[in-house]
Structure 1
Amino acid sequence: SEACVAAGKPPIDKIKYDSQDDAANALILGRVDALSADSPVTGYAIKRSKGRIEAAGEPFDSAPYGWPIVKGSALGPALQQAMQYLIDNGVYQQIAQTWSVEAGVIEVSKINGAES
């Protein structure tokens, strides 16, 4: 918005919604011109819109997600191994494709950035 004003253009009017569904609905109904969200959220909104909205570009700054657990919990290695199993058998890639988030997939499951 500041860059627009500095360039002599009108400011961007930012509108906050309580849910992503409300934001997507506002876009479909023409109440807003665009929305911004994480790529999985945006991809889901696009799929549900039945062609009424589309991506304005490719995802940027994709990053893997993780699960926070209590430090030292036995759940950590179990989750890491389960994730690696999904990676190895191709199910993880299928899930990523379903939700249009292939840009953020990982090849190796790690705990705190270290392989087990």
Structure 2
Amino acid sequence: MIRTRLRAGLLTTGSLGAAMFFGLAAGAAAATPALPPAMAASKTITFCAAMTLPPVIYIDNGLKPAGVDVDFGNMLAQHLGVTAKWDNVAFASIIPDLVSGHCDAIVSALYIQAERLKVINELPYMYVSQSVLLKAGAPKLNSLTELSGRKVAAVTGSATNMLLDEANQALKKAGKPPIDVIDFPDNSAALQQLQFGQVQAFTVQYETAVYYSNLQPGQFEVAIAPFYKIPIGVGLRKNDPVLQAAITTALDGMLKDGSMAGLLKKWNLTADTLPK
């Protein structure tokens, strides 16, 4: 099931210790983990997601949620003994939506970052990387600083904003023109601006850059090797320890029974496997 809500919001941020980060195996796996009472009664878990990041998460031609994150969320729900519902929201409002109770958890390629962990907890399940998308035929890049003086698209609240800020700091020290970063609400809008020539580059998740370049090889090309490899995680409210324990147990089961490995193999993303 999917419900779409695109609302304005600020990306706030949330803290999980290193033990939790690599401690998915803690605790014995259970066939059906204990759930919060309301979830146990409804037999459903609602995931907030920004479905504009193919092949990780997107809306397919049949107007249904699709992608590795959707497969992952549905599989996670199955291990919890419930059914997944999907709430399609703007990325910039995804954490506020979780904190305010509009959904039970986030499954949306949400990077695990220190600032986010001040507000929510995250349980890691795979890696992703970053790259740059250019118009087909443009010269390749060796680093983000080579975008000096160019208009570059990024998605509001995404990790690429931080990386572009770092590149601009380096350019300032070198006395070179900064990158002109233009924020868009989602990947579709940013990609359209690159296609129309309104920006000269689009900083985006590597998996998505490859997807678009393969989909339209005459339009786009991946400009740089993947960089900034970072884990993504299930986002959870800090005041929801029962659900966090249940999902930790379910993730442990998915690792042990090979479900997670099979999922990443299906999407040709085995390189994004977390260390055991």
TM-score scaled by length of structure 2: 0.32
The alignment covers a number of residue pairs equal to: 102
Q: Structure 1's 106 and 26: CA in aligned 2 closer, same or farther, altered over 3 A?
A: same
Q: Is the 8 A contact 1:27 1:33 kept in 2?
A: yes
Structure with the largest fraction of helix: 1
1:82 corresponding residue in structure 2: 254
Query: Greater CA deviation, 23-32 or 59-68?
Result: 59-68
| Percent identical | 25
Instruction: Give the residue type in structure 2 aligned to 1:28.
Output: Q
1:105 corresponding residue in structure 2: 273
Instruction: Give the residue type in structure 2 aligned to 1:71.
Output: P
Q: Measure the CA separation in 2 of the matches of 1:107 and 1:8.
A: 40
**1:58-110 CA-partner distances (Å, limit 9, x unpaired):** 1112123222344353232123212442245x332222x2xxx55432253xx
Q: Structure 1's 3 and 107: CA in aligned 2 closer, same or farther, altered over 3 A?
A: closer
How large is the RMSD of aligned CA atoms in angstroms? 2.7
Q: Higher relative contact order at CA 8 Å, sep ≥6: structure 1 or structure 2?
A: 2
Instruction: Please list every run of 5 or more consecutive structure 1 residues that lacks an aligned counterpart in the other structure.
Output: 109-116
Is the partner of 2:232 in helix, strand or coil? coil
Q: Which one of 203, 208, 221 corresponds to residue 36 of structure 1?
A: 203
Q: Which one of 64, 67, 71 corresponds to residue 241 of structure 2?
A: 71
Structure with the largest fraction of strand: 2
**1:10-48 CA-partner distances (Å, limit 9, x unpaired):** 332111111111111111111111111232343344344
Q: Measure the CA separation in 2 of the matches of 1:61 and 1:30.
A: 26
Instruction: Please list every run of 5 or more consecutive structure 2 residues that lacks an aligned counterpart in the other structure.
Output: 1-167
Is the partner of 2:254 in helix, strand or coil? helix
Q: Which runs of 4+ in 1 moved over 6 A?
A: none
Q: Measure the CA separation in 1 of the matches of 2:194 and 2:266.
A: 28
Alpha-carbon deviation of 1:53? Answer: 1.1
Q: Is the 8 A contact 1:87 1:107 kept in 2?
A: no
1:92 corresponding residue in structure 2: 264
Instruction: Give the residue type in structure 2 aligned to 1:68.
Output: G
Q: Is the 8 A contact 1:4 1:11 kept in 2?
A: yes
Is the partner of 2:207 in helix, strand or coil? helix
Q: Measure the CA separation in 2 of the matches of 1:75 and 1:8.
A: 49
TM-score scaled by length of structure 1: 0.65
